[in-house]
Amino acid sequence: MLKRTLIEAANAAASEMLRFKDLDFKVSNKEGINNLVTEADHASEAAIISVIQKNFPEHQILSEECGELIQDSRYKWIIDPIDGTVNFAHGIPLCCISIAVEHDNKMVLGAVYNPFMNEFFIAERGKGATLNDKPIRVSKKEKVINSCLVTGFPYTYLDEPNGPLQVFERFIRKGIPVRRLGSAAIDLAWVACGRFDGFFEHKLQAWDSAAGFILVEEAGGVVTDLKGQPYSPYQPGIIASNGVLHDELGRWVRNEI
């Protein structure tokens, strides 16, 4: 029932994204000059929440736009109705719905769905991860120098030592390809299916990473915080990888190489 509801919610949100694709919709700013929210974000969120509350009215919900709907429940749905809103607002098809289910503070289900590329990723704790119902696994690259990585940058720059631009420059100066897609959920899903060997970012919210987190783990990868400690979506920094090069990637990010 949980997984069926997850799939139904993601499909409902996808219908809203596709409906707004060719419409003139309102765009406004949140914190940061290009931290956008659109009518489509709100419509997608409403569609997801409607499906969840129809099936599990007692469950908690944490969503990017409406915040936290607190209930006395051991289950929490963590939602990003459109991850990659800037891309969506500019007609760039690198955007997705991200929905995760947490039970007793542990992620048990996750879905990342990009309807524009027809890519539907699902992970279930202990049962692996799939892309369009086919099993996926992380890559087998062993060295960072031979890897293809992906990252993102915060809307408000983190003015701290070894910040996002410094880390990015470190890789680029060594000739290591680092991409920036504009959607952390897609970044993590693409690590899970082996397109990228690793992902790192300094500042994410729970709704950005919760679904991608379980995707990577269930595809055989490793996810930690920036210090290499066990990952929680409720703290900002993340390193995700195929596991084989994870320790080395962490040292690169922390400037310990």
* Residues annotated catalytic, as ranges: 64, 80, 82-83, 85, 208
Q: For residue 112, give the amino acid letter.
A: V
Beta bridge partners of 100: 78, 110
User: CA 214, CA 138: separation in Å to the nearest integer?
Assistant: 13
Find where tokens 């210090």 sit.
227
At position 25, the amino acid (one-letter code) is F
**Cβ contacts of 12 within 8 Å, gap of 6 or more:** 47, 48, 50, 51
Q: Distance between CA 173 and CA 217 in Å, rounded?
A: 30
Q: In this structure, what DSSP letter does residue 231 have?
A: P
**DSSP type of residue 230:** B
Of 107, 129, 145, nearest to 194 by C-alpha is 129
CA–CA separation, 113 and 156 (whole Å): 27
* Cβ neighbourhood burial of 134 (10 Å; 0-12, 13-18, 19+): exposed
User: Positive or negative, the Cα torsion across 179, 213, 100, 207?
Assistant: negative
Angle at 92 between CA 179 and CA 131, to 5 degrees: 70
Element (H, E) at 12: helix 2-20
* Tally of helices (H runs) and strands (E runs) in the chain: 7, 15
